[in-house]
Amino acid sequence: MTTIVIEKSQSGAYKGFTCMGHAGFARKGKPDILCSAVSAVSFHTINGMEIAGQKPNVTSNESTGFLRCEIPGEPNEGTRILMDAFAYTMKELSKEYGEKFLQIQFKEVKDNA
């Protein structure tokens, strides 16, 4: 199962997200389309932040299915829109494929985190 934790500050600003684990949705002899979708949307969001002028701190480990994206400082307008889309898409994927494979959590963090 993949767990995604989306962090927002007490004031509602996005601070980052963490993806952990492999979905385990793959069917015999087929690639895991859910893991592929989560990866594609995650990296699209990170790349979009770069294009929008935000420089996120990213840590990953492909073998364990770990991806951490930290948004330093205050997110700009582009990053806010990208993170809204990221959260929406991940919730929709979780509905489509089931929480057995993909769980979305929101975590409140301190404003200065």
Domains in the chain with CATH codes: 2-109 (3.30.70.1490)
| pLDDT tens-digit series, residues 46-59 | 999 999 999 999 99
pTM: 0.90
Question: What band does 63 get if pLDDT is binned at 50, 70 and 90?
Answer: confident
- Angle ∠(83,93,78) on CA atoms, nearest 5: 15
- Above 60 in pLDDT, residue 113? no
Helices of type H across 7-113: 33-51, 77-97
Query: Phi and psi for 87 in degrees, rounded to 5?
Result: -60, -45
Return d(Cα 69, Cα 17) in angstroms, integer. 5
5 half-sphere exposure, CB direction, 13 A CA radius: 13
Query: Phi and psi for 53 in degrees, rounded to 5?
Result: 95, 5
- The mean pLDDT value of the chain amounts to 93
